[in-house]
Amino acid sequence: MKTMKTTTKMTTIKTTNKMKTMKKSIQALSLVAVLFMTSCTDDDAVTIINEEELITTVELELTNTADATNVVLFKSVDIDGEGPDDPIITVTGTVNASSTYLGEVRFLNESIAPSEDITEEVIEESNDHEVFYTTSITGLTITKTDVDANGNPLGVLSSFQTGAIGTGILTVVLRHEPIKPNDNTLIGAGGETDAEVSFTFEVE
């Protein structure tokens, strides 16, 4: 009688080859590890951003129509923009009583060199901007002399008519996308304030 070699096999229903699974797992893991380490980023150095639209300076220059040498400059400079330092306000020149001045306001960004004249953009987008002047001084009349593309007042150029001697406040406000036409009040005009500066105004 031939002896037959038989072996009892113990198997489970899933005949998984453990080695095969292990190898596959290692392959998968290493692929994943590679993906993990290499993220799709550029390793360029982080560059500084100097904001171009930032208004650091508001200058209001008044020139006496009767005397071109009588120039008054109201200036507010906040060179650190949103930073904690307060704006520095300077007034040079003397405002005379009972006189007419031509006013020109300038909005500048002096945090970058060379400085940027934002007033140009205000004039280019005249329909979206308006400058407002309010004053507590009685007898001082301020009229906006320029207009936007639709014929509504703009306010970059103005005319100041002074009355009696006195002291008070002059506030210059630049509004972005105000309601136009409007009643020339801060409340009625709406829009967003891009600049709001108050100066002590002395009429001598």
Site for other proteins in 132-151 (CB under 8 A): 134-137
How big is the chain by its Cα radius of gyration, in Å?
Answer: 36
Binding segment toward other proteins, per CB under 8 A, in 63-71, 98-106, 157-165, 178-186 = 178-186
Could you say whether residue 200 binds other proteins (CB under 8 A)? no
Q: How many residues does the chain have?
A: 204
Site residues for other proteins, 17-76, by CB under 8 A, read 28, 32, 35-36, 39-42, 46-53, 55-58, 76
Q: How far apart (Å, rounded) are the C-alpha atoms in residues 191 and 176?
A: 5
Task: Tell the smallest beta-carbon distance from residue 90 to other proteins (Å).
Answer: 14
Q: How far apart (Å, rounded) are the C-alpha atoms in residues 32 and 34?
A: 5
Residues contacting other proteins: total by CB under 8 A: 76
Q: Which of 10, 34, 66, 68 binds other proteins (CB under 8 A)?
A: 10
Burial class from Cβ neighbours inside 10 Å (0-12, 13-18, 19+) for residue 69 reads exposed
Q: What is the x/- site pattern for other proteins, positions 65-94, by CB under 8 A?
A: -----------x-xxxxxxxxxx-------
Binding segment toward other proteins, per CB under 8 A, in 60-68, 94-102, 115-123, 157-165 = 115-123
Could you say whether residue 122 binds other proteins (CB under 8 A)? yes
Burial class from Cβ neighbours inside 10 Å (0-12, 13-18, 19+) for residue 204 reads exposed
Are 148 and 93 in contact, with CB atoms under 8 Å apart? no
